[in-house]
Amino acid sequence: MFNPIFWVVTQPLGQNNPVAGFVHISPSAGLYLTQHFLDVTVIEARQLVGLNMDPVVCVEIGDDKKYTSMKESTNCPYYNEVIHSKNLLRSGTLVGSFKLDVGTIYTQPEHQFFHKWATLCDPDDITAGCKGYVKCDIAVVAKGDTIKTPHKTNETDEDDIEGNLLLPEDVPAERQWARYYVKIYRAEGLPKMNTSIMANVKKAFIGENKDLVDPYVQVLFAGQKGKTSIQKSSYEPIWNEQIVFTEQFPPLCRRMKVQIRDSDKVNDVAIGTHFIDLRKIANDGDKGFLPTLGPAWSNMYGSTRSYTLMDEYQDLNEGVGEGVSFRARLLISLAVEILDTSSPEVMSSTEVSSLSARQSSTQSEPKLEFFLFGCFLEATMIDRKIGDKPINFEVTIGKIYGSYQSLLESELIYGSSDDEVDDGGDMTSVSTSPPMKPVITDRNYFHLPYFERKPCIYIKSWWQDQRRRLYNANIMDRINQAGKTKLDRERLKLCMQELENMGQQAKNMRSQVKKSNVKDKIKLAQNFLLKLRFLSDEPQHSVPDIYIWMISNNKRIAYARVPSKDILFSSVDEETGKDCGKVQTIFFKLPGKKSFGPAGWTVQAKTELYLWLGLNRQRKDYLSGLPNGFEENKAVKGPGMSSPPISLMYTMKQIFQLRIHMYQARSLFAADSSGLSDPFARVFFSTHSQVTEVLNETLCPTWDQLLVFDNVELYGEAGELRDDPPIIVIEIYDQDTVGKADFMGRTFAKPITKMSDEHYGPPRFPPQLEYYQIYRGNCTAGEMLAAFELLQIGPAGKADLPPIDGPSDIDRGPILPVPIGIRPVLSKYRIEVLFWGLRDLKRVNLAQVDRPRVDIECAGKSVQSALIQNYKKNPNFSTLVKWFEVDLPENELLHPPLNIRVVDCRAFGRYTLVGSNAVTTLRKFIYRPSDKSVNNWSAMGVYPEIKAVQYVSLVDKREKGKKKRKKGEEVEEEELDESMLDWWSKYFASIETLKEVRAVEECNYFTRTRRCLENAWFRFFEPRRFYYTIYERFRSLKCKRMWDISFLPQMYNRELEYEFNTFEDWLHTFNLYRGKCSDDADVEQNAADEDRLIGKFKGSLCIYKVPASDDMSREMGFDSNMGMFQNIPHNDPINVLVRVYVVRVCSTKHHRAVLYTGPTEIEDENGMHFQKRHYCINCIKFALCIHCGVTRSHWKAAHKNKCTCFFLTGLKKQTDEHLALAVLNRWEDMPRIGCKLVPDHVETRPLLNPDKPGMEQGRIELWVDMFPKDMPAPGPALDISPRKPKKFELRVIVWNTDEVVLEDDDIFTGEKSSDIFVRGWLKGQQEDKQDTDVHYHSLTGEGNFNWRFVYPFDYLQAEEKIVISKKESMFSWDETEYKIPARLNLQVWDADHFSADDFLGAIELDLNRFPRGAKTAKQCSIDMVINEQDMPMVNIFKQKRIKGWWPFVARDENDELEITVSNLHVNTNPTTGSKQPNCWVCPYFTQHWVVFNPAFFRVYCHTYKKCIYFLLRF
């Protein structure tokens, strides 16, 4: 299997600078044969180890490498770019690397890591520790997947590197280095790798015919590769070698790839591949164990063993796909040792060494004789393409290939009795059935005429006795023996512990199940199932799996694979395989890639097969599971000898009549270009087949047909057939006028069996109709409603069978309907249809839709909408409500689908189908009377409980100023400047409180306004008015100190319609589809339907029994024409003012001016606001008093006492605005007119690129307001224009340096000296680097400068980012705006005349958060840099000025930290001195401020000492 590698490498250009990082990714098995996209965005890197580096990030997967741009002279580069290829020669030294498995990414939520920090380490120097961090986004997208970018709530949280590491949840942050010891012992069972012609050539030249295979073992793990030596000309090579890998533990590459390869001078070829999943051989619990394996045999599977020059299944040998044959066995072991990185003997390279001659226990363990028996009871549904040649079946286990190849350690099976098998007989094994000519079943399938003679196979083989491992897989809760390897013993403890834990959790879960948490408990139970499946997968193999091949004309056509553990026999019933000694139905499939796609959906053959596997000495009862009534036909080779039978002759058979009650199907596959199908069903049972009638142009056919199979012969006893009858196969096809029928799906069923002596009556008979899921490949393709019964024909013949009672239908001729008693009981229903309009209709046959009409059909009855005369002018219907009556089953689960079809009425009486939709579930449209007990609150005197509305302060808690108060005085908070509050203040306050709002579920305080263009018109006119007024009133409200949370806009991380159930309360949207469904099995159904979408129908349904009750009649109101759709607004077109507020685009993947968005449709009709603010409170009073039955006295009492639920806001001073807002907060609790309302909000929508389907390129935050023109004009639009960055000027005054490292030696005196200068720049403005003058020939490390750096920049204080606008390249048309963190870089250098300047030290300060400077040099330490979280932090934009001592860090030759010290002073007030920023006079001469020039202090660290003294000013 191709093993792609993903690397992230930060690599500098030029000079001998180290590379800063790299990431490796290898895929998981679940990503087979599916196209995937790997999207990597490198944001930034920090704490990279190195001096004056120019880092570049490289991402490698397989042989493909891509790079980011280069950032000069920085240890903290900021990229924020997607990797892209560059064909440039790159050089440098690797600083650190990070390796990751693609499968690990795909198993994460949303298949991605978002804004996570990858820890870089040097694989060649594992004692060096962390080499830095790279912040990146990584996503793996399969075809049809949709990746959603998480909402970034707090930027400061992402700066916590240790808390946001790029690691799965179950992996600790600190990983240790470990050695992985892979021991390779020997292999056996290798296939031929050359043709017989090459063998003859070799014999002619060499004189002897040796084995023509030169095997070696290759192991790949975490980007590392190890190989054993090559064993020349050996089918059973012995290596006894060890491969050692060094990698961190736990590793992020969860699988190890082991291959046996054949060495060749031209090209090495894989013989077989095995993957070791480290999760299955380790346990990370408190009582866990490190990965351990074997010594154990690993079975390898791949292509067929017969050698061909062009092997079409060679990919199977590489591990891609399911193997179709046994290839080899490899004896290996794996152990892990945690390393002590402080030891000087630790090595990190991959090693290959030889083991001692001592053999493992598994090697010397004797082999036991196993016996495999099989009997073919039936072979049907053979594809007609191969039905003209004789067919036989071959069964193999391991290397054994029946008549095609000699047996492994070829022996004879013999026996002297049923209890013991004597080793002295002569009976050859039989692994193939005799060839037989197929017989026609119907036009599609054939069958083999076995009838009463059933062929048998039996095979003897020798394997080590590791049955206990298979018993462990078969039964998890009754393991009573430990295995012989360490993994066997550890897995025993693990399984027992996990089973006890699951049992206890299951007991607790059973007592905690409630109606409200049923879904959560079901998910927990599903997790139990997944864990049991994980534990039952035995990583240490023993007996190979069984392969069954169907052979036609000596050519292998199709195969089936049966795990050996499933048919393994044990004397303990619970340890026996689930299919051991049972008749199982096996479907054959094509090998390799042929089994995928439409070609692989066709059944190649169906067999009823009996299999038994066990020790030869246990084969006493190997025939006990077969249906009784047979005689054995044995091949006896000598007198008194007994052997397994070569065939079984059945003398007992039963005659049955099978009745198939095919009622209907729904949601079938669209097989025609019109988006519909002409379905019919073909039913197979044993060697019989029948079909239903063809129903034209429908996806929800109602056949209502009884199929009768007479004289069905089944072999065996009647009681066995009653308990376990054969299965029925139902295939659905689409009938085409020309050509063969198209396959649409398949399902299976078992009939209910009635014996001749049983009574035909309740509870088993008559059978009830049930839904059966239809599958098309691995995808669902609809459901079928049917019932099946198998009736035995007794001695009296068919007269004893129950009569077929059903309605007579002369028009259907010989077609029998489903009988009464099985068909559902019908009642009269009325279906009212609301025809609103059609939307987004596309062209049909290159012509536009002009005069469409909607046809509604259900259970043979239909109704048509009014004709739209001009779709472009008015897409709505003139008649809103129509109805029709239909007979529907009383059982709602059996209701037939409702079909919606849209036709275009064209000239000359032509009708063209535009699109269709099938409503499969009608339950949500059934009218259910409301509860009378909640119609009037005032009558009950009870009001529902409501939680207090919370509030949040927009003032930073750290900056709140509280005045001193006397005893009993209330605290007065500092007044906030109202000019600082704008819409963006509310926006950022909402983001800060997003997590808290989600955590408090009981604070469901947001009102929700119906927000669909045609869905949000309310049933009452007056309530419609005050929604506008309240929204306009509160949206513009400002508070000086605190804002109620309800006034803040609600932040939605996805589309608004998903938050409110697509706004379907009384008006629904039905998608219309046209065209054939996709045959691509990898495409999800939702993605496939998007391509077929041709329009939308807006309307609704209401279903109820007739005659209607008195309550329903009163509910219908005065307008009988509207039925149950009373008080809905008109659908005439209106003029609407639309305001779209685009807030921002975030998390973009590309720096491009144009972003392609997907189908982001926003339907909105709730933004209808009124301007008069005084009308707000009166509207609420009107709604409460008139429509809710709340009297004005209740309102006044509530207002006075402040105890009613509506008016509890949690604020000490309650105003009318707060009370009114509280009403809206709980409007959904109001009876009759109560509904969910949408708050003042900001929704988030994805930005998609059609070239990268499903992969988000970013997100856009926006909201939409809509105002009907027939209402009073709304207020002015909100001003949400982006905050303009303010112009700042950063001034850094460097006074002097001291204790600088002396790098130069005087050529005459040998005296140490340095030529010192300081360099500084702002991140992102490297081109504006500024240097001080040079202090030449400093003998003490002291340098005097009095130099000022001036850096003008644009700064967004709200986002804490510097704004830079520049072109990406000289070919760019427009400038691109970058927002980067505000960071100051300062460096100390030693100037040289003829060579490159020497770098001495550096520091990077985040201007928003950096440690407060020490008052004296003695108080300044390196902890201020490496332990920033424990130091008081300073924001220079708030502090304005600051001075102090800070340490500058560098690394010496021993990679140890050293420090220098400097003094910074910041002033934000520009002065006239900025016009000449280079030279600056001593500060005590200035008139603006006086600074005391402190004495210089020396700080010693190791052998280096240096001190820099400067001043920073804003």
Distance CA 20, CA 966 (A): 60
- Residue 59 is predicted with a pLDDT of 86
| For the ranges 307-321, 1307-1321, 1361-1375, 1489-1503, the one whose mean pLDDT is highest | 1307-1321
Query: Residue 22's pLDDT band (boundaries 50, 70, 90)?
Result: very low
Other C-beta atoms closer than 10 Å to the C-beta of 1082 total 17
- Residue 1154 is predicted with a pLDDT of 39
Average pLDDT over residues 1207-1218: 51
Considering only CA atoms, which of 693, 667, 690 is closest in space to residue 679?
693
Considering only CA atoms, which of 38, 27, 63 is closest in space to residue 254?
27
Q: Is 748 helix (H, G, I), strand (E, B) or coil?
A: strand
- Evaluate if residue 821 carries a pLDDT over 60: yes
Instruction: Quickly tell me which residue has 């560059």 as its tokens.
Output: 86
Distance CA 370, CA 1368 (A): 71
- DSSP string for 1402-1443: EEEEETTSEEPPBSSTTT--THHHHTGGGSPEE-HHHH----
Average pLDDT over residues 287-303: 88
- Residue 960 is predicted with a pLDDT of 39
CA triplet 1374, 1375, 1376: central angle to 5 degrees?
A: 120
Residues contacting residue 305 through CB under 8 Å, at least 6 positions apart: 191, 192, 325, 326, 327, 399, 401, 405
Query: Residue 242's pLDDT band (boundaries 50, 70, 90)?
Result: very high
Provide the token pair at 1422. Answer: 């390196």
pTM (2 decimals)? Answer: 0.74
Percentage of the chain exceeding pLDDT 70 = 70
- Evaluate if residue 1180 carries a pLDDT over 50: yes
Is the model more confident about 280 or about 1025?
280
- Evaluate if residue 1339 carries a pLDDT over 60: yes
Distance CA 947, CA 1068 (A): 32
- DSSP string for 1090-1112: HHHEEEEEEEEEEEEESSPPHHH
CA 1399 remoteness from chain centre: 48
- Residue 1496 is predicted with a pLDDT of 29
Pairing of strands 779-792, 752-754: parallel
- Residue 199 is predicted with a pLDDT of 54
- Residue 356 is predicted with a pLDDT of 66
- Residue 398 is predicted with a pLDDT of 87
Burial (Cβ within 10 Å: 0-12, 13-18, ≥19) of residue 1011: buried
Residues listed for the chain: 1514
- Evaluate if residue 141 carries a pLDDT over 60: yes
pLDDT digits (tens, 9 = 90+) for 741-765: 999 999 999 999 999 999 999 989 9
Provide the token pair at 836. Answer: 């609103």
Burial (Cβ within 10 Å: 0-12, 13-18, ≥19) of residue 122: buried
- Residue 60 is predicted with a pLDDT of 84
Percentage of the chain exceeding pLDDT 90 = 27
Q: Is 973 helix (H, G, I), strand (E, B) or coil?
A: strand
- Residue 1233 is predicted with a pLDDT of 60
pLDDT digits (tens, 9 = 90+) for 447-462: 999 999 999 999 998 8
Residues contacting residue 172 through CB under 8 Å, at least 6 positions apart: 250
Q: Is 1388 left (phi over 0), alpha (psi -120 to 50) or beta?
A: beta
Segments of 339-366 assigned E as strands = 351-354
The overall average pLDDT reported for the chain is 75
- Residue 210 is predicted with a pLDDT of 57
Provide the token pair at 571. Answer: 């004397």
pLDDT digits (tens, 9 = 90+) for 1305-1317: 887 788 888 898 9
Distance CA 1173, CA 1175 (A): 5
Query: What is the helix (H) or strand (E) element at residue 395, kind and residue range?
Result: strand 391-397
Query: Residue 1016's pLDDT band (boundaries 50, 70, 90)?
Result: very low
Distance CA 421, CA 427 (A): 12
- Residue 157 is predicted with a pLDDT of 57
Q: Is 163 helix (H, G, I), strand (E, B) or coil?
A: helix
pLDDT digits (tens, 9 = 90+) for 1076-1101: 887 665 555 555 577 789 999 999 99
Q: Which of 81-95, 215-229, 394-408, 1332-1346 has the lowest mean pLDDT?
A: 394-408
Sheet hosting strand 36-46, strand order edge to edge: 78-82, 36-46, 130-142, 112-121
Query: Residue 1371's pLDDT band (boundaries 50, 70, 90)?
Result: low
Q: Which of 150-164, 1046-1060, 1186-1200 has the lowest mean pLDDT?
A: 1186-1200
- Residue 863 is predicted with a pLDDT of 95
Is the model more confident about 1182 or about 540?
540
